[in-house]
Amino acid sequence: MTWILPEGASLDLEGISSPLRVLRGLGGGTQGQVFEVEVAGERLALKWYLPACIARDPHLKRRLGESIRATAPSEAFLWPLALVTPGPGALPLLRLGEPGFGYLMELRPPGFLGAHEHVGGHLDIGLLQVLRACFFLAEGFHALHLKGLCYKDISLGNLFLEPSSGRILICDNDNVDVDGRDLGSVLGTPGFMAPEILMGIARPGANSDLFSLAVLIFRLLTRHDPLRGRRELEIRCLDEPARRRLYGEDPLFIFDPTNPSNRPDPIEHAAALITWPIYPEPIKRLFEQTFCAGLHAPQRRALTGQWMAALAEALDQRQLCGHCGQETFPAASDPGPLCWSCGCPIPPPTRLRLPHGQVTAAAGNELHPHHFDRLLPLRLDQPLARVEAHPSDGSLLGLRNLSGQAWQAELRAGNRVVVVESGQACNLAPLVRLTTQAGAVELPT
């Protein structure tokens, strides 16, 4: 690749107070190229646009300036930090016929990988982390929409995952715009665009974001497309007219509860058939809401807050099958749940009773502030406690105190009370109650 900014050069750019040194090119596409740079001793990323991109999108500079002033909705976004244009000394160094402009953003930290790696089956990641990633995704777009902004191009290509934690990063934020205003040329990514956008009867906005978000969550959870079932197999050539029919003119959810004509094929679409039964009914209902009534009625699509609530609830009821070890999500109301993987009965688990909800005692499950106070927002990034398995006996479960304050633990035998310091873990088996600064944790007698 021929880099439009010379590697190793020091550039005098307007918009920042210190010279910028180009360290190396990171990649490029139809919009421009991204570089690792150094500014005042700090390593950052710089995206520099190609003249053709600027010509196609004349409002790009204005939108970027507004986004920078609005600041990032949350830490999940690799948000523009500063708009830069070439100073007089930098112009001769640019390998472009026109000066153009770019923007600075944080570098993507190591450990974050493209979400398409997971959908392609190339990532070692558990369901716990995938569900957490989906929650963080909904949370990020919840924060974006609360600012009155919309993203317009949600897709797999704009998302990075940290497999060990489920944390996410949302990149390519230069299409972000004020919801209801149309200062961009981007319509979205094929396969993620809402039907009304594909058919040209509406422009991208928060409502079409909700459709694309549901597609992305579906792809992360099932590794399959929500609209490609048996109808796809009847198409001899998946050309543009065929795609318009599948995604715009006559879309049909593969798990539509009233119309089974587009069900997944057992051979061609096996991933969808295997993964769909895994998930709790509240999550399935949100997909049905968005991909059935919401296909043609954007105002009926599942909202970001609904996704957050359903995903958090699924994480609370996560349980490991005692026979095959797979992660399962049986509801507390299910009288005889079976493992989706091996079919074995799942015994009733120990459930930690909290002032606001219950959390199954399974290694990896966490207690959060919203479990103790229903008025607090749903968040997964500041756990107060985590269930852990004993390192040498996985059947013994403990609860590690992550709160920063000591707990009082009441034991069954002898009505004894012991202190669990911050950072320590306590065995759950002999406990009756834990008293924390946030509230009480009751265990079954």
State CA 90 to chain mean position distance. Answer: 38
State how far the Cα of 240 lies from the Cα of 44, in Å rounded to an integer: 39
Query: How far apart, in whole angstroms, are the C-alpha atoms of residue 308 and residue 146?
Result: 14
> Which pLDDT score is estimated for 29?
86
Q: How far apart are CA 39 and CA 17, in angstroms?
A: 9
| pTM given for the model | 0.94
In this structure, what are the phi and psi dihedrals at residue 422, rounded to the nearest 5 degrees? Answer: -60, 130
DSSP β-ladder status, 149-150 and 42-49: unpaired
* Tokens coding 328: 């399962």
Q: Which string of DSSP letters, residue by residue, matches 258-291?
A: S-GGGPPPTTTTHHHHHHGGGS-HHHHHHHHIII
Mean pLDDT per 10-residue section of the chain, whose length is 445 residues: 89 92 92 94 96 92 94 96 91 83 95 94 93 98 97 94 96 93 83 96 95 98 97 87 93 97 95 96 98 96 98 97 94 90 93 96 97 96 96 92 96 87 95 95 89
- Give pLDDT, residue 91: 81
Give the length of the chain.
Answer: 445
Q: Which residues on adjacent β-strands are paired with residue 170?
A: 77, 159
**Dihedral of CA 10/15/18/20: which sign?**
negative
Strand pairing category for 82-86 and 113-114: unpaired
Predicted local confidence at residue 184, as pLDDT: 73
Question: Are the CB atoms for 313 and 282 separated by under 8 Å?
Answer: yes
State the amino acid at position 227 in one-letter form: L
First to last CA, the chain: 66
What does the DSSP assignment read for 28-97? E-SSEEEEEEEETTEEEEEEEE-HHHHHH-TTHHHHHHHHHHH--SSTTB----EEEEE-TTTGGG--SS
Identify which of 441, 419, 422, 415 has the alpha carbon closest to the alpha carbon of residue 350.
441
Q: 224: which DSSP letter?
A: S
Q: Which residues contact 295 (CB under 8 A, 6 or more apart)?
A: 195, 251, 253
Q: How many CB atoms lie within 10 A of CB 49?
A: 23
